[in-house]
Structure 1
Amino acid sequence: MAEGGTPTDFAHWVEPSLPILARYAARQVAADDRDDVVQEALIRAWQRWSTYDESRGTPAGWLVAILADRCRRHRTRRPAAVLVELVDHGVAEPSGRDLDLERAVDGLSRRQRQAVDLHYFVGLDVAAVAEVMGCAPGTVKATLFQARARLRELVGDDDG
């Protein structure tokens, strides 16, 4: 894609994906490390920009896949109850059920948590989640189905 592209071209190309990258990093690593992990991913993306193939997916999916790799390699993980941190700083007022859900998400398998984070918290569609996870969209749908079932077990489902 970017053979001979300039840093300015790259910045314009990346800009629409920055909020997605920030949301995903916030779900994966400790607050103090979020910007560093995104920066590491952007450096890696810049180095590999010429290998991006638009026929294989979106820029956002490609960038989040790189970020996911950087997050896996990072030493610190996000604290188990990020919502508690937000409440302590007056940013959010989640109910007890919200805190239970956050803890339950942390109790999912790594693959289920990744699918839930990417689809429900970051807002990627199933195709983009599949691109990031390196699997078929049907696999993502099945993983999300299993994750929702597990979350109902962990949190309790009053509706059924």
Structure 2
Amino acid sequence: MDSVSHRAPGQAEAFATWVGEHVAAMARLVARLAPELERDDIVQESLTRAWLKRHQYDGRRGTPSVWLLAITADQVRKARARSRPHLSIVDDAPAGGGTPDDSLDLRRALAQLSERQRLAVDCVYFAGLSVAETAAVMGCAEGTVKSTLADARAKLRVLLEVAE
């Protein structure tokens, strides 16, 4: 038995149960925000951080999912800052139909968004969070999320040459 579990009998198991249903969403967010980084390591770092800060969780300020995704987004930012640029081999075949060029164009366009715009787009469109939940993850107001999404959509329209 590790020292943390020994000092807090039952707490580790309760925490594992509490976060268990959110781990997949955390992994998806890491994959969207930083596909070039090691997803499992960042999720593990996020869970460790959540364990250490578990006493700070306040259900009145958001759901466990939002709290954990905010921690995950922060850990991605830290991991990106620590990582050195390296080449990544990616399968460019689209997952849901379309041509490989469509998928590649979208990836390139998304990569040209600012980090803040990518986070907003990933949270709302890929992680399925509401604007309020995205605001909690990003640590900003809902209006800021809406504005950031509008700017991101406008930029994507130009980059992808999509008519309104």
Which TM-score band applies after superposition, normalised by the shorter structure? 0.7 to 0.9
Structure 1 residue runs of 5 or longer lacking an equivalent are none
Tell me the number of residue pairs that the alignment of Structure 1 and Structure 2 aligns: 153
2:13 corresponds, among 8, 15, 29, to: 8
Matching residue of 1:19: 24
The alpha-carbon distance between structure 1 residues 152 and 62, as it changes in their structure 2 partners (threshold 3 A), is: same
Matching residue of 1:28: 33
**Alignment partner of 1:147 is 2:152:** yes
The answer (yes or no) to whether the contact 2:92–2:104 under 8 Å persists in 1 is: no
What is the Cα deviation at residue 110 of structure 1? 1.1
The answer (yes or no) to whether the contact 1:86–1:92 under 8 Å persists in 2 is: no
Query: What is the aligned-residue RMSD (CA, Å)?
Result: 2.6
Mean alpha-carbon deviation: is it higher for 21-30 or for 43-52? 21-30
Deviations along 1:70-94, one digit per CA (max 9) or x if unpaired, are: 11111338989x8x72346x96665
What is the TM-score with the length of structure 1 in the denominator?
0.84
Q: What is the CA–CA distance in structure 2 between the aligned matches of 1:68 and 1:54, rounded to whole Å?
A: 19
Q: What is the CA–CA distance in structure 2 between the aligned matches of 1:77 and 1:118, rounded to whole Å?
A: 25
What is the Cα deviation at residue 97 of structure 1? 2.1
Q: What is the CA–CA distance in structure 2 between the aligned matches of 1:26 and 1:133, rounded to whole Å?
A: 17
Deviations along 1:141-160, one digit per CA (max 9) or x if unpaired, are: 11111100110011111x43
What is the Cα deviation at residue 27 of structure 1? 1.5
Q: What is the CA–CA distance in structure 2 between the aligned matches of 1:77 and 1:120, rounded to whole Å?
A: 28
Moved over 4 A (4+): 77-80, 90-94
Q: What is the CA–CA distance in structure 2 between the aligned matches of 1:132 and 1:71, rounded to whole Å?
A: 12
The alpha-carbon distance between structure 1 residues 26 and 73, as it changes in their structure 2 partners (threshold 3 A), is: same
